[in-house]
Amino acid sequence: MVALSPSDPRYPELTKRSFNPRFVSHPDVLHLPYSVEQVEKAVEQAVGRGQRLTVRSGGHCLDNLVGDPAFRVLLDMSAMNRTWFDGERGAFVVEPGATLGELFTDLYLGWRVTVPAGVCPAVGVGGHIAGGGYGPLSRRHGLCVDHLYGVEVVTVDKSGRAKTVLATNRPEDPNRDLWWAHTGGGGGNFGIVTKYLFRTPGVSGNDPAKLLPSPPDRVFMTWAVFPWAGLSQEGFVRLVKNHNAWHAANSAPGTPTAALHSALHLNTQKEENIYLEIRNDSTAPGAKQLLDDYIAAVSNGVGVKPNVSTTDDLWLSNATYEFPATIPPRTKSKGGHLRKPLSEPQIVELYKGLTDPDYKGQCLVYFAAYGGRINTVSPTATAIPQRDSIMKLWFSASWPDASADEASVDWLRRFYQRVFGDTGGMPVPNDRYDGCYINYPDIDAKDPAWNKSGVPWTTLYYKQNYPRLQRVKAAYDPHNVFRHPLSIEPA
């Protein structure tokens, strides 16, 4: 195991591995483990010395859950990045330091299978899976945790000793609750994951090529670009209404429309364009007609004609393509689940925010397709309870300089609060909204200045599953060693 102090020239190479440079770790020691035994040793040393410790996989945590100065020990899991098939357990094993791109590549080239995980290939597996990650294949195949067979986790017992626990979804497994907690409970809560095991429930046999979903051989990758020039407020409202309405009408599982995944990128007016990003299985019957009909439905009555470009891509090339970075580095994010389309007054608030001349940074409001197979799972079967949503919603402000931090964060907070003004500034679970998503962490949910709903953050993220998560926390992390600003509190 590599252990680096701040005086080591390699130290800054690892501390700067953060998607959001507002929160950069400066621990007393940074561990780079290569095995579960090394993770155990590092954890036990930190606990013995009374040092707060945290863990990082890909470095894409959006809020201050890892870079907090309170953490004096950081375990960077990036060196544990292998994927293989375990014939004895009949499951694929993935280490938490792998990126999604590496995971997709290894599974597809090795066995022509995949897991329905996210759209950003640089994101680390570790936190993405634990938070209940989703992606372009989720409307067909569910969330990535719907295929999670087991987890190997380094925990800390009552005596303060590090202990490695293998937990599976088998009903007779005494550690089954620990597996369940990692199906959406979020990273850094119960211990340090050293292995994820994947096998689709209900499959039989031991042929690895039949134990996980197969992706389509090819996909249509389409961008429909709507110019802000000439787009009126009425046209903007119509565009968002059309998009939301299509997903409300086409989120049932098992239908041909489940082969299509889209994301509507609402950028600020200064960015000149709004983007509709679409992926659909080009080998499915009627694929081109589905694509054309979808674009026509979203474009109807908008008042500006989109510029549409489509390529027929190999699936793996598409899944691992890294889009060029165009946003400034410093960010603040907020998110939510939608059970129904936003109301017209809410869409008008989106328009006002995205055309605000006083805001100098960038902002993206991102509607991502959801539903389909995701919604066939009981809300208590996994730790992520949002199982009847039709869209994910993500607000992301970004700006280049630290001098703009306070003003930019404040701007996004007020923007988001206005959009969800009918429920106290948060997407409180009701007939229209379904709370928040732990992989879009937002510590404002704990602050009554921004969460005026009276609904605790734990309900926003975990709903009825939170008490069970607390019991798992108490059983496997009785001293609350693994904690951060949005961590599970022990029962």
Written as six digits, the tokens of 58 are 């890909």
Written as six digits, the tokens of 421 are 């003004």
Give percent helix, percent strand, percent coil of the chain, each to the nearest 5: 30, 20, 45
Which residue among the candidates 351, 433, 440, 476 is catalytic per the annotation?
440
Residue 113 contacts residue 213 (beta carbons within 8 Å) = yes
Q: Which of 38, 44, 42, 71 is nearest to 160 (CA)?
A: 44
> Whole-angstrom Cα distance, residue 99 to residue 95?
10
Known catalytic membership, residue 149: no
Per DSSP, the three-state class of 238 is helix
Which residue among the candidates 108, 275, 294, 366 is catalytic per the annotation?
366
> Whole-angstrom Cα distance, residue 74 to residue 93?
24
Half-sphere exposure at residue 231, Cβ-oriented, CA atoms within 13 angstroms: 27
> Whole-angstrom Cα distance, residue 485 to residue 488?
9
Q: Which of 257, 436, 408, 220 is nearest to 331 (CA)?
A: 408
- In Å, the largest CA–CA distance within the chain is 67
Other Cβ atoms less than 10 A from the Cβ of 131: the count is 26
Residue 275 contacts residue 295 (beta carbons within 8 Å) = no
Which phi and psi (to 5°) does residue 155 adopt?
A: -110, 175
Sequence-separated (6 or more) residues with CB below 8 Å from residue 455 = 424, 426, 428, 429
Known catalytic membership, residue 440: yes
Other Cβ atoms less than 10 A from the Cβ of 256: the count is 15
Handedness of CA 59, 64, 69, 73 (dihedral sign): negative
Residue 347 contacts residue 241 (beta carbons within 8 Å) = yes
> Whole-angstrom Cα distance, residue 373 to residue 286?
20
User: Which residues belong to the active site?
Assistant: 366, 440
